[in-house]
Amino acid sequence: MKLILEEIKKSFDNKEVLKGASFIFEKGCIYGLLGRNGAGKTTLFNCLNEDIGIDSGKFEIEEGERRRAVSDEDIGYVLSIPVVPEFLTGREFLKFFVDINKDNIRDEKTLDEYFDLIRLERDDRDRLIKDYSHGMKTKMQMLVNFIANPGIFLLDEPLTSFDVVVADEMKELLRHMKSDHIIILSTHIMELALDLCDEIVILNHGILKKIENDSGDKTAFKNQIIAALKGEEDD
């Protein structure tokens, strides 16, 4: 499976954010999407999730020799600010989500098995979500996306609210999942991108560009990424 972006453009008033963004994302890879503040990473995700419309261009899924439109079921979107029903307990929310998606869930597990997957403490499972930390809310948002199991995951700064141990657990989970998914992780933390991601893609001046690690040297690669984000030409 491939997610193919072709010349995507998006403007707000007189500001052109995406200026013909094109790229091919492939299954089995975690892509680190880097860009300076205001570069349009979240705008790109919102376009792919069809929360906002694009001005021109297109994006499609390629399966074998066939291309098709992206559907709601194809995309799992984990936002930087988690959106979860705070008036429910973690268990109530999870049960509700599983019940309404039961027909589409493969290999259904018990609620506690799902909680174990994200290592949510047993004492926290029956607490109101409004009393959860930001990191715990993000865990719940990630969990329901994992259960829905779309082919494409858009992760907008998902690990920044976790402590070191939990972030490492989530990274291992993503590595385990990548063989059957396209995972695009937006982050401003270069070390996270270099540690977790198989490919580095930058969004700069509205255009997507893959950065190749030609030398194999980590420091040189970081300098290459910074230069690309500054818009400098490669030597």
Band the pLDDT of 25: cuts 50, 70, 90: very high
pLDDT, tens only, 184-212: 999 888 888 898 999 999 999 999 999 98
Strand partners, 124: none
pLDDT of residue 234: 41
Note whether 210 and 234 are within 8 A (CB).
no
pLDDT, tens only, 102-152: 888 888 899 999 999 888 999 999 999 999 988 889 889 989 988 998 999
Domain annotation covers residue 107: no
pLDDT of residue 233: 44
Question: Which residue's structure tokens are 């998914």?
Answer: 181
Domain annotation covers residue 117: no
- CATH number assigned to the domain comprising residue 47: 3.40.50.300
In the predicted structure, residue 162 carries a pLDDT above the cut 80: no
Note whether 171 and 196 are within 8 A (CB).
yes
Note whether 194 and 200 are within 8 A (CB).
yes
Its domain, for residue 20, covers 2-85+135-230
Domain annotation covers residue 119: no
Band the pLDDT of 161: cuts 50, 70, 90: low
Please give the torsion angle defined by the CA atoms of residues 118, 121, 127 and 129, in that order, rounded to the nearest 10 degrees.
-30
Sign, Cα dihedral of 42, 47, 53, 57: positive
Cα separation of 94 and 92, whole Å? 6
- The secondary element (H helix, E strand) that includes residue 2 is strand 2-12
Number of domains in the chain: 1
